[in-house]
Structure 1
Amino acid sequence: MTKTALITGASSGLGAEYARQLALRGFDLVLVARDREALEQHAAELHSRFGIAVEVLPADLLAPRQREKVERRIEADDRPPIDILVNNAGFGLPLDFARNDIEDEVRHLGLHVEVPMRLTHAALGPMLRRGRGRILNVASVAAFMPRSTYGACKRWLVEFSRWANAQYGPRGVTVTAVCPGFTHTSFHERMGLPPGDEGISDFLWLAAPDVVAESLRDAARGKGVSVPSLRYKVLTRVVRILPASVSARLGQRGR
C-alpha cells in the first residue's frame, strides 16, 4: 500500500527537498505552504517525474482557521493516512531581540513552537492507533548554542522531540528533531542576504539533499535527534562544553 507524507513549508528549501526525496521513495504527498502557485508548480513537477499523487494544501499556519485545515487533514479517517509528518515551516529574524518588533517575535515563536506542537499532537493519535508513523521536526544546530530567540525555539523543539521519541517510539511512532547547520537553501535569501554574504566559511555549508537524506535515515533508525554531517556533530559537542560567553559569541556568526 502506498504511504503518504505531509510536509509543511514544502514550496522551497528543505521542504521541497523532503518532497523530492520522499517522492523518489514512492510516497504520495500532501504539500503545505502559503504560496498556492508555487505549491501547484512543485506538485506538477513531482507528479510528472515520479508518478505519485500530490495533494496541495495552501495554508498560512499562523492563521488558526487555516492551520486547523491542516490538522483536520492529518486526523482524517476518510483520506489516505499520514505516515510521515515533516514540520519544516519557519522563518528567521535578525538576532537583536531588543530591536526586533515584538509581534514579529510572537509570530516567530508561534511558527517554530506552537505550530509543530499542534501538528504533532494531531498526528500522534492516528499514528498510535495504527502502531506506526514518523514525525520529523526541523530544528537547527542553533538549539545547542545561545542564538537569540531562534536558538531558544529550536531548543524547545529538540527537547520535545527527544522526549516524544522516548515516549512513543516503543509504540511504533518515532519523533526526530533534525538539526542542520548552515544549508544552501532560499532561507537566508528571504532574510535579505544574497548567497555568500553570511560571513561563514565554505566548510560549514551543507547541501540540502545531504541534510534530508541523512535525517531520513536517522528517522528510520528511530533516532530522537539527527545532526547531519560529521562536522556539525563535532561542533555541537564542542559548543556544549564551552563557557556561555564564548558560545554566545559563536552564535552571533551568520544570520
Structure 2
Amino acid sequence: MQNYKMVLCYDGGRYDGWQKQGNTDNTIQAKLEAILTEIAGVETEVFGSGRTDAGTHAMGQTVNFRMDWPGTEEELRSAIHRRMPEDMGVLSLEQADPRFHARLNAKAKTYVYTVWMGEMPPVFWRKYSFWCQKELDLAAMEQAASVFLGTHDFKSFCANKRMKKSTVRTIYKIEMTQEGHALRIRFTGNGFLYQMVRILTGTLIEVGEGKKTPAEMADILAAREREKAGFTAPSKGLLLEKVYYEDWRKGEEGL
C-alpha cells in the first residue's frame, strides 16, 4: 500500500474547520476522506499537517494517506479533482516515504493574516480579510512583533484554557507587508497553539490602534493569561500558506 503526500488549497469559508467531527461531516478532512474512500473502495484515513479553524483558508495544507492505486500519480490526482467541490483543489500529489507523516514530520509552518485598512470597505476581500477602518501604526506593530520572536511560553495567546500540554513554541519570523489597503502579517514558527495566530494578530492590531503599546508585550507573555492579550481576529482573514519538512530558511533570499 503506497503512502501519498498531497498538498491542498481550500476556501474554508463554508466548512467547520479541518478536523472531522462526530456531529458533522462538513469538514475538510471528512470531505477528503469520503472522496478517497470512494476511489479506493475501502475506508481511507487522511492525516493533515495540523488543524485549521472553521472559516480558515489554506494555500498549502499538506496531508498524507495510504492507498492501493494501480495508476500514475497524475491519474490519481485527476480522480480526486473530479470529485472535489469547487472550493478545494490539489496542488501536488506524489508517493512519499512509507514513514512520512504530514503532522509528525512537519518542521515549521507559515500562516498569513490579511488586514484591510481604510474607510473603503473590502468589497472583494470581505470574505478573506479583517477590516480596520483606520490606518494602523505599522512601526509600533513591528516593534511589538519583535518581542514574540524566539522561543516563549505563549499561553497568553492560546484559546484553550485547559491546555495541559506545553504551550512553549518558537516563532522564527513575523513579516508585515502592505499592498494598497491590504496589510499581510506573515507568521513562521515551529508550531502554533489553538487560535494563537489569530490572537497574536488581534493583539498587534490593538497596538496599531494605540490601545496597547509595544512595551506591554513582554508582560503579556509573562502573565500566561489569555485575558491579558488582545482580541481574537476573525478566522476568515487567516490562511495556512506553507508547511515545511526541511529547514524553513532554505530558499529564503540571502540564505
TM-score band w.r.t. shorter chain: under 0.3
**Rg larger for:** 2
Higher helix share: 1
User: Larger relative contact order (C-alpha < 8 A, sep ≥ 6)?
Assistant: 2
Higher strand share: 2
TM-score, normalization: structure 2? 0.26
TM-score, normalization: structure 1? 0.26
